[in-house]
Amino acid sequence: MEVVGIIFFWIFLIIGVVIIPFGIAGTFIIVADAFIYGLITGFEKITLPFVGVLLGIAVLMEVVEAAFGAVLARKYGGNKWAMAGAVIGGFIGAVLGTPITPVIGTLVGAFLGASLLHGISTGKWNEALVVGLGAFFGAVSGKVSKIIAAIIMVVMIGFRIF
């Protein structure tokens, strides 16, 4: 029975990484999986402080993922409105894109939000499209960063267990 539990444990760790591109917070699934493993094993190898570190990484990556779109919108010439548009548009896009795929909604939403708010606030619509591309690339970078962090979390857990 122990082998079955270990198999399910690793399956959920892998699922945590794989679902991130679909807009689901897989890093928190990884944290929950590690916590349950620790709970079942008396926190022998996976300790509560270690779970706290994993939780900290998961929360940090949520912030980093959200901020990437804003930061790159700014780098591509956007103003504070474009930065806000990237974050708000990414969130709204994720929610509206959920029936299809949240990741596409997030990327398109970041682009549209940054472009629209920059264009409205400056009247420079050609510039607004470039700013929107920056927000789009930022949203992609945020997703990639979060996937990399999730893989690192899984490797950290692996080193603890073996």
- pLDDT tens-digit profile of 5-27? 999 999 999 999 999 988 788 99
Is the pLDDT at 1 greater than 70? The verdict is no
> What pLDDT score was predicted for residue 110?
95
Spatial separation of the C-alpha atoms in residues 92 and 151, rounded to whole Å: 27
Share of the chain above pLDDT 70, in %: 99
103 pLDDT band (50/70/90 cuts)? confident
Per residue in 109-155, pLDDT tens? Answer: 999 999 999 999 999 999 999 999 999 999 999 999 999 999 999 99
**Domain membership of residue 137 as a residue range:** 2-161
Closest by CA position to 69, among listed 122, 136, 158: 136
56 pLDDT band (50/70/90 cuts)? very high
pTM of the model: 0.87
Mean pLDDT of the chain: 94
> What pLDDT score was predicted for residue 29?
97
CA–CA distances in Å: residue 147 to residues 4, 18, 51, 131, 137: 26, 8, 18, 25, 15
CA neighbours closer than 13 Å in the CB half-sphere of residue 113? 28
> What pLDDT score was predicted for residue 101?
77
Provide the token pair at 47. 């300790």
Q: Are 31 and 59 in contact (CB under 8 A)?
A: no
Per-residue pLDDT, averaged over 19-48, amounts to: 94
Share of the chain above pLDDT 90, in %: 83
Is the pLDDT at 99 greater than 80? The verdict is no
Number of domains the chain contains: 1
Spatial separation of the C-alpha atoms in residues 162 and 157, rounded to whole Å: 9
Q: What single-letter amino acid sits at 145?
A: S
